[in-house]
Amino acid sequence: MKTRLFFFVFWQFACIVGVWAEGENVLARFANQENPQESRKFALLVGVTDYTELSKLSYCVNGVHAVRKELIKLDFKPEDIHILSSGSNEFKHLPTRKNFEKTLDSILLQIEENAQENESKKKEQSNILFFMFSGHGLEKDDAQYLCLTDTEHNNLSETAYPIPQLLEKLNRSKVDFKWVVIDACREKFTDKKSLPGETTLEEIDNPPPGVFLFQSCKSGQSSYEPFWEPGTIPEGQQPLGIFTECFVEALSGKADSDQDGNLTLMEVCKYTTELTSNKAWENHQKFQYPFFQWDGSDFILKSDLKRQRARKLHSEAKQLFGEKRYAEAKVKISEALELCPKDCEYAQFEITIEQFLKLVEQNAELERKAQEAAEKARWAEEKAKRLANIPRPTLPDVPQILPVSDGRTAGERMVKTINGVEYAFRWCPAGEFMMGSPEGELGRYDNEKQHRVRLTKGFWMLETEVTQAMWESVMGTTVSQQRDKGNKDWSLRGTGPNYPMYYVSWEECQAFCHNLRSLGLNVQLPTEAQWEYACRAGTTTSLNNGKDLTSTNGSCYNLNEVGWYDENSDSTTHIVGQKKPNAWGLYDMHGNVWEWCQDWFDSGYYAESPTSDPEGPSSGARRVIRGGGWSNFAKGCRSALRFSNTPTFRYIILGFRLVLVP
């Protein structure tokens, strides 16, 4: 297969950790040639589930075999794909340290001989090596290791394999492009026989040029396996780790986001990253963000020429249809269907092939209706001329927020002092708004059905999230002590009196409100409707500054104005009130930390919600959280975004704010 290589400019993505500027850009050497070089592709896949001293894993072997199937579809020859895996029938294929070194050296020698042969024949051919490891990782004395089946705690240097040594060996080889994928945790070295696997491999500093390094999670996170109840795995299904499952799905072609028929390496990594983070949260309510380090170039893994031709035919058919050349348009679209009979949805086009065919078949009816419309328009024009001199009253626009006679101004500020700490509230007047999001909103989810809601009573909402000073003065615990209730190994991301409080469950928020009421401040969590109404402050856009997202999971200039999210937060919370407030003076409604609401959560509740003062379902298993946080993509911080968690859940990115009870 001929492989095209090209350079990506200004590509920004949430999980990019570093860009290497040193050394020759290997991919760029081939980027601008009219006839790109042929390539020979080699692969080494290592899956380890059984260990002598470390805890057993479940799905790593399944993973490397699933990846092998996809590599063959990407024109890797079976004889050039080498697998070391637990449970192999041949000893030489078991993932021991000795077998690993021997197999790696054998592949690199084969690549070197191939390079020498190409050079002697003056043949333009590049050598590509795909390496994947799925298993345990260990860190000791700032050294990071891949753990093979015979890895020993007290002899890591001889029985595990250092990652920097692997990268350096690849750098010295004759491989033109190296793609390294690591699905492993960084487990702190202990004297115990089994390890919990709760932290990840550190990011590798300054990998060699020409190495594309893709790891399953960031520092401080785990690489999770899916949770299955005993006996619930479907018959015949081979479960995979969450990262590997998403990676295999990406390699299968689903990552071709622009549907141009070219599956690129960057599309695979971007797709895998977003899908993995979503599935890890769904399975474990934990964060897992894959990340990659590379030199800025991209690489086409597979070109679907039939799909590209079908897209071209579809585009030509649309043009013919616009010119009312229906018969010719139908011929073009029929050719497209012959090329891709099972794939008639082209996401970038306004009209799908199926819809197109219906329109072609109905063109006579459309022409008839068009003539009738033209005739009606002619009569309407004549009538308008006759009535042109008759004066007509103008009706005022219906305001977004209904007027109320409460004597207060929207955004009016009121300060209460409890235990020496100030609580600043902003007035949110009674009114009505469109709750949820329109179908065309960027980043929208199906549980955001748009519907009109009226709030018959105004309310005071806390100007910012509840701060650590507020919490400690009422509850007597610090954010560190709250963290310890869950897991002492969890990190802290922002500590101080003016930072938002986090590591608090919904139940603990209720206790906080109870204690404040006993001190004379009658408060509760906002309802979901109150929260979104206050967040929007009269806006109908996806953000409360009257603007929409410019990107769902990259840098978003409009969101930068009002919120802390994964692109600008530097992976931590920030002192409250630093970003621009909304029209009613409320800060940090987008990002920083998620905020608990009073309601039970039901994804279909909007379809049956009362039109006035909705308070959520009467029961449920999870409570609503809103607003997004510092580690979320831009689409997760929209005004309409809904999420939920169990009332006992606490985490590093979850806090709350208050409203006064009338």
Output the pTM of the full model. Answer: 0.49
- 336-353 pLDDT, tens per residue? 777 765 544 443 344 455
Is residue 623 a contact partner of residue 644, using CB atoms and an 8 Å limit?
A: yes
Of 395-399, 428-432, 490-494, give the lowest mean pLDDT range: 395-399
Higher pLDDT, 112 or 14: 112
Q: Which of 299, 276, 273 is nearest to 286 (CA)?
A: 276
- For the purposes of burial, counting CB atoms within 10 Å of the CB of 74, is it exposed (0-12), middle (13-18) or buried (19 or more)? middle
- Within 8 A by CB and 6+ apart from 127, the residues are 39, 40, 42, 111, 114, 115, 174, 175, 176, 177
Q: How confident is the model at residue 3 (pLDDT cuts 50, 70, 90)?
A: very low
- ∠ CA 444-445-450, rounded to 5°: 75
- 274-317 pLDDT, tens per residue? 888 888 887 877 788 888 877 666 777 877 667 777 777 777 87
Pairwise CA distance, residues 337 & 354, whole Å = 9
Residues of the chain above pLDDT 70, percent: 78
Helix (H) or strand (E) holding 513: helix 506-518
The pLDDT of residue 65 is 94
Predicted confidence (pLDDT) at residue 244 exceeds the cutoff of 50: yes
- 521-537 pLDDT, tens per residue? 999 999 999 999 999 99
Q: Which of 280, 147, 293, 148 is nearest to 221 (CA)?
A: 280
Q: Which of 250, 26, 248, 253 is nearest to 127 (CA)?
A: 26
Sheet with strand 623-626: strands edge to edge? 642-645, 623-626, 594-600, 654-655
Structure tokens belonging to residue 318: 């649309």
Structure tokens belonging to residue 9: 């400019």
Could you give the residue ranges of the DSSP H alpha helices within 454-500? 468-475, 479-486
- 49-107 pLDDT, tens per residue? 999 888 888 889 999 999 999 999 888 999 999 999 998 889 999 999 999 999 999 99
The pLDDT of residue 290 is 87
Sheet with strand 659-660: strands edge to edge? 413-418, 421-428, 459-462, 659-660, 523-524
